[in-house]
Amino acid sequence: MLNVPRLRLLSELGRRGTIVETARALAFTPSAVSQQLAQLERETGVALLERTGRTVRLTGDARALVAHAEAAFARLEEAEAELAAGQRVLRGRLHVASFQSVVLALAPAALDLLADRHPELSVDITQRDHGPAYDGLLSHEFDLILGEEYPGIPERVLDGVDRADLLADPLCLVIPPGGVIGTRPRRLRDLAETPWALDPDDTPTGLWGRSVCRRAGFEPRVRFESPDPLLHAHLVRTGHAVAFIPALLASPHLDGLPLASLPGGPHRMLYTAVRSGRAGHPAVRAFRTALADALAAQRPAEPAWSIALEA
């Protein structure tokens, strides 16, 4: 019988590409990973790794073995879900990764619902951007991730992942009450000389924001670059910048400030994602239900637009 933990190491190596990254992801030392993979080669009787200088890659036999291993991991998780579903009380621990704006807007209400419905279920939430969160999901570091997809930047569909859309959240341009804005803009390019607060340009949010400005005919003057949406909101509220803010955050944190709708009415899509074998687990289903119920209680509606920007 092949050793399941060693198969996990091989699968992770195929995903990460290096022994060092595999060791880091699974909290091993590189030497321990090498030793376990060497043992797996002895167990299988075939070469699993091709060594080229300081790097390694999976052989054809190893890739075939990983495909079988991934199917086995999914079946084992389905078995765990079936056993958990047969219990009268939902207990255990759910590991969730989320980006900041959903933690701010939805997680507290969802956790309150879960505490009332399933007091013996513990939920750990770690803040992660969607890329590292997906890596952690596939490495079994997380059971569920909360992600976001921006217009024109589609998520790659990953094998073995069950995704469920949660909310189409309108994207707003938020304008300060005074300060850097002299007159009420009619078009986005009227803000070409205005200071902006945007996410870094190597994030989906930052890429989307810059692309919107470039399509309007200008390069934004990014005076404040940060992945923190609350900092963006504070800079707008204090009159130092304009920013794109999702409606889910604009309402509680920028109430009363002018919201400008963007041409085409862009939305970001919020979603949850789990490994397919874990999708039927009662803890996953309970958390997804709590998120949906928290959204329904908040009743997010289309923002009250103060300005409709022209294309």
pLDDT recorded at residue 186: 86
Domains and CATH numbers, the chain: 4-82 (1.10.10.10), 91-166+268-298 (3.40.190.10), 169-267+302-308 (3.40.190.10)
Q: Are 171 and 244 in contact (CB under 8 A)?
A: yes
Q: What single-letter DSSP state applies at residue 18? A: S
Q: Any idea what the Cα angle at residue 13 is, between residues 11 and 16, rounded to 5°?
A: 115
Compare 179 and 55 and report the one with higher pLDDT. 55
Residue 176's pLDDT band (cuts 50, 70, 90): confident
* 124: phi then psi, degrees, rounded to nearest 5: -105, 130
Instruction: Tell me whether strands 259-261 and 161-174 are parallel, antiparallel or unpaired.
Output: antiparallel
pLDDT recorded at residue 89: 94
Q: What is the mean pLDDT of the chain?
A: 89
pLDDT tens track for 221-274: 999 999 998 899 999 988 899 999 998 888 777 777 888 899 999 999 999 999
- How many other C-beta atoms lie within 10 A of the C-beta of residue 236? 28
Helix (H, G, I), strand (E, B) or coil at 27: coil
pTM score of the predicted model: 0.86
Compare 186 and 65 and report the one with higher pLDDT. 65
Look up residue 226 and give its two tokens: 């940060």
Torsion of CA 184, 188, 193, 196, to 10 degrees: 100
Output the DSSP codes for 101-165: HHHHHTHHHHHHHHHHH-TTEEEEEEE--HHHHHHHHHTTS-SEEEEEEBTTBPPPPPTTEEEEE
* 305: phi then psi, degrees, rounded to nearest 5: -70, 135
Out of 48-52, 153-157, 225-229, give the one with best mean pLDDT. 225-229
Torsion of CA 206, 146, 149, 303, to 10 degrees: -80
Residue 15's pLDDT band (cuts 50, 70, 90): confident
pLDDT tens track for 138-147: 989 999 999 9
Compare 122 and 157 and report the one with higher pLDDT. 122
pLDDT recorded at residue 183: 67
Least confident of 48-62, 209-223, 279-293: 48-62
